[in-house]
């Protein structure tokens, strides 16, 4: 009786994984270097703790040739100063997220609906509705895109214990802070924005790399 109940509790996914193992095929969990998310960091199976920073881009088209050359020199100097940290840079093209912008128009539309009949402006309401529809179509069709830039910083754990994990987190946080200061100092004339990704933002980024199309629906 108990054996039968155990079989009924097994899911289709369990059988798929079992089949893969029998065929000597590994699952994505086996292949991936990622062990999990710890607070606002990524823990790898090889013992590294990783932090990800998002850095705004610089539009080279708006710079003169001598300004571009100076920018490349500054960037080269920055990389040389951080060579011991083995930084990894990542750039990816993503659709522009218009949800917050469109939400603002939707709120304005609701405000128009809530007005008294004698103060309502039907033409204004229709115009706002057309804006909402326009930006919604752009978002669905991915007609607008932007490039995002990330810097990956890592620190090696000495032992796989919670105590050493906390110690590594403190070292990595300090390293990220120093790197942020160095970036702002090097590119102070370009007004760049630097954000350290939180746990949820890291998950969204990893999801985007794993399944880009689905991440657009849930990201």
> CA distances (Å), 99 to each of 144, 205, 213, in order?
13, 17, 17
Tell me the mean pLDDT in the region 138-150: 79
Domain that holds residue 154: 34-94+147-218
Q: Which helix (H) or strand (E) holds 53?
A: strand 48-55
Pair 134, 153 in one domain: no
Q: If phi over 0 gives left and psi between -120 and 50 gives alpha, with beta otherwise, what is residue 64?
A: beta
State the Cα–Cα distance between residues 164 and 25, nearest whole angstrom. 34
Nearest Cα to Cα of residue 97 among 3, 2, 204: 204
56, 183 Cβ separation under 8 angstroms: no
- Looking at the domain assignment, is residue 10 inside a domain? no
> Do 103 and 205 share a structural domain?
no
Q: Are residues 72 and 168 in the same domain?
A: yes
Q: Is residue 104 domain-shared with residue 210, that is, in the same domain?
A: no
Other CB atoms within a 10 A radius of the CB of residue 95 amount to 17
Q: Is 48 domain-assigned?
A: yes
Residue at 5 is within a domain: no
pLDDT of residue 189: 84
Last residue of a domain, one of 80, 108, 141: 141
Same domain, 103 and 59: no
159 & 198 share domain: yes
Q: How many domains does the structure of the chain reveal?
A: 2
Q: Give a yes or no: residue 18 inside a domain.
A: no
> pLDDT for 8-56, tens place per residue?
445 454 555 555 555 565 667 777 788 889 989 999 988 999 999 999 9
Residue 9 within a domain: no
For residue 28, tell me if it sits in a domain: no
Asked if residue 213 and residue 155 are part of one domain, the reply reads yes
Shared domain for 193 and 213, answered yes or no, is: yes
Task: For residues 198 and 122, give the distance between their C-alpha atoms in angstroms, rounded to a whole number.
Answer: 43
Same-domain check for residues 51 and 84: yes
Residues 197 and 119 in one domain: no
Q: Give the C-alpha separation, 106 to 102, whole Å.
A: 6
Token reading at 149: 């830039």
Residues 90 and 40 occupy one common structural domain: yes
The verdict on 176 and 85 lying in the same domain is yes
pLDDT tens-digit map of 75-127: 888 888 887 877 888 888 877 777 788 889 999 988 888 886 667 788 888 89
Q: What is the pLDDT of residue 2?
A: 38
């Amino acid at each position: 009786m108990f054996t039968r109940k155990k079989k009924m509790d097994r899911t289709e996914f369990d059988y798929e994984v079992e089949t893969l193992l029998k065929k000597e095929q590994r699952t994505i969990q086996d292949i991936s270097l990622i062990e999990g998310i710890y607070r606002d960091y990524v823990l790898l199976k090889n013992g590294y703790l990783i932090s990800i920073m998002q850095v705004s881009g610089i539009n080279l088209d708006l710079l003169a040739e001598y300004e571009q050359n100076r920018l490349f020199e500054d960037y080269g100097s920055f990389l040389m100063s951080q060579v011991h940290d083995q930084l990894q840079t990542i750039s990816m093209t993503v659709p522009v997220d218009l949800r917050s912008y469109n939400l603002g128009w939707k709120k304005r539309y609701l405000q128009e609906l809530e007005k008294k009949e004698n103060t309502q402006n039907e033409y204004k309401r229709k115009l706002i509705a057309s804006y909402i529809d326009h930006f919604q179509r752009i978002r669905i069709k991915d007609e607008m895109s932007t490039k995002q830039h990330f810097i990956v910083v890592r620190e090696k754990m000495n032992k796989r214990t919670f105590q050493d994990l906390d110690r590594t987190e403190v070292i990595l946080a300090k390293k990220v802070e120093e790197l942020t200061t160095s970036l702002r100092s090097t590119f102070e004339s370009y007004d760049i924005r630097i954000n350290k990704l939180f746990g949820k933002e890291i998950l969204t980024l990893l999801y985007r790399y794993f399944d880009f199309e689905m991440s657009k629906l849930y990201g």
